[in-house]
Structure 1
Amino acid sequence: MSPISSTALSGLNAASLQLQSSAHNIANTQTPGFRRQQVVQSAEPAGGVRAELTQAAAPGEALAEDIVNQMQASTLYRANLQTLRVERDMLGSLLDVQA
């Protein structure tokens, strides 16, 4: 797998985890004592990102933050998907030139 694919796939996974986490938080907003899930991301030395789930220290909701997180994760997901598409197209063009 190329470094571009690896980086884009890690971004897709991180965005997917963020979408799942914020959806979980929104669905459980009214649950008494509910502690929100949070996604912590860190850069990988070889490129890409690592995403991990944590729980908020205290119970409570942050509906506005979760909605913004969903919008942001959706945009990041589409951007990483487009990166994979461009890489695929470039490799296809390169193979056409080589053939």
Structure 2
Amino acid sequence: MNDVMGTALGGMRAAQRGVQVAAHNVANVATPDATRLQVQRSTTAEGGVQAEVGTTTPDPMAPLGDLLAAKAEVLAFAANATVIRRQDQLLGSLLDRQA
């Protein structure tokens, strides 16, 4: 797998994890003892991103932020998917020219 593909896939995984965390937080907003989660992102040596889930303190305004974060994660996922599609198209064009 090349660097562009790996970086985009890492971004897609991180975005997916972000949507899962936001969904967890929204679904458990009325649960008294529920743990609120957050995603911590860090860069990898290969140039991608890694997402880890941790706990955070409760926040009464959090549900709105979680819904907005989920939307941003969906857009990030779509952007990374577009990068993968373009990479595939460029590779196909290059192979067509070489053939």
Q: Same fold (TM over 0.5)?
A: yes
TM-score tier (shorter): over 0.9
Q: Which deviations, in whole Å up to 9, do the C-alpha atoms of 1:26-84 show, x marking residues without a partner?
A: 1111000222110000111221101000011x344511110111011001000000000
Report if the CA contact (8 A) 1:18-1:73 is conserved: yes
Match of 2:92 in 1: 92
Report if the CA contact (8 A) 1:33-1:60 is conserved: no
Scaled by the length of structure 2, the TM-score of the pair is: 0.94
For these two proteins, the number of residue pairs brought into alignment is: 98
Match of 1:12 in 2: 12
1:67 paired to 2:74:
no
Alpha-carbon distance in 2 for matches of 1:20, 1:91? 32
Scaled by the length of structure 1, the TM-score of the pair is: 0.94
Unaligned runs of 5+ in 1: none
Identity among equivalent pairs (%): 39
Report if the CA contact (8 A) 1:42-1:50 is conserved: yes
Report if the CA contact (8 A) 1:18-1:39 is conserved: yes
Match of 2:34 in 1: 34
Structure 1 runs of 4+ with >4 Å offset: none
Alpha-carbon distance in 2 for matches of 1:38, 1:59? 11
Match of 1:83 in 2: 83
Q: CA RMSD in A?
A: 1.0
Unaligned runs of 5+ in 2: none
Alpha-carbon distance in 2 for matches of 1:59, 1:39? 14
Alpha-carbon distance in 2 for matches of 1:59, 1:22? 13
